[in-house]
Structure 1
Amino acid sequence: MDNKFLQYFALTITIIGAVNWGLIGFFNLNLVALIFGSMSWLSRIVYGLVGLCGLYLLSLYGVIGQERREM
């Protein structure tokens, strides 16, 4: 599996999570719960993926720092 695929996948899932949190904050609408059910096994998988992808994207801070040092 290509590293770029993993980065794009993680970014996409994290954006979906961010949009869901925005909908919860502004409109009290949990889109994941609306689509998959409140804390069903499928919604728990989505929440877990969002969390894992967010943790993975923390590693991009190191990549950004390395690129700045190389310039």
Structure 2
Amino acid sequence: MGTVYRIALVLVIIGAINWGLIGFFRFDLVAYLFGGQTAALSRVIYALVGLAGLISIPILMKPLNDDEDVASNSHTRVNNKPSYNMEAGKEADFSDVSKQKNKDLKNKK
């Protein structure tokens, strides 16, 4: 995970803690520390947390572990050929059948 995503994640966590304090105790920590909700510094913090939330959206699409990504692709493709395996069992590979059919058609001509 890149540095930008780590910083964004920290800001999102700070925002989540602040929202938790607001929800449970009606206490806005950012406003308390930086001079109220309408203070310029508070608004900057709120804006940074909002941007961090937007930046963190791609984290939802990434696999949790890079090893899982390699492992999941290793059994689906062998020698750059697609795997036709199904959960219930193996399905026949008909890609060679179409090649053979083309060869047979050429031989008949």
Give the TM-score taking structure 1 as reference length.
Answer: 0.83
Give unpaired runs (5+ residues) of structure 1.
none
Q: Is the counterpart of residue 6 in structure 1 residue 20 in structure 2? A: no
Amino acid at match of 1:45: V
Q: Which has the higher contact order (CA 8 A, sep 6+)?
A: 1
Cα distance per residue 1:9-54 (max 9 Å; x no partner): 0000000000000000001000000000112110001000000000
Matched residue pairs, number?
Answer: 68
Q: Which residue of 2 aligns with 1:63?
A: 62
Q: Which residue of 2 aligns with 1:27?
A: 25
Q: Is the counterpart of residue 42 in structure 1 residue 41 in structure 2? A: yes
Q: Distance in 1 between matches of 2:27 and 2:54?
A: 24
Q: Which residue of 2 aligns with 1:53?
A: 52
Q: Which residue of 1 aligns with 2:102?
A: none
Q: Give the superposed CA RMSD.
A: 1.9
Superposition misfits of 4+ residues, deviation over 4 angstroms = 67-70
Tell me the CA shift for residue 64 of structure 1.
3.0
Give the TM-score taking structure 2 as reference length.
Answer: 0.56
Give unpaired runs (5+ residues) of structure 2.
73-109
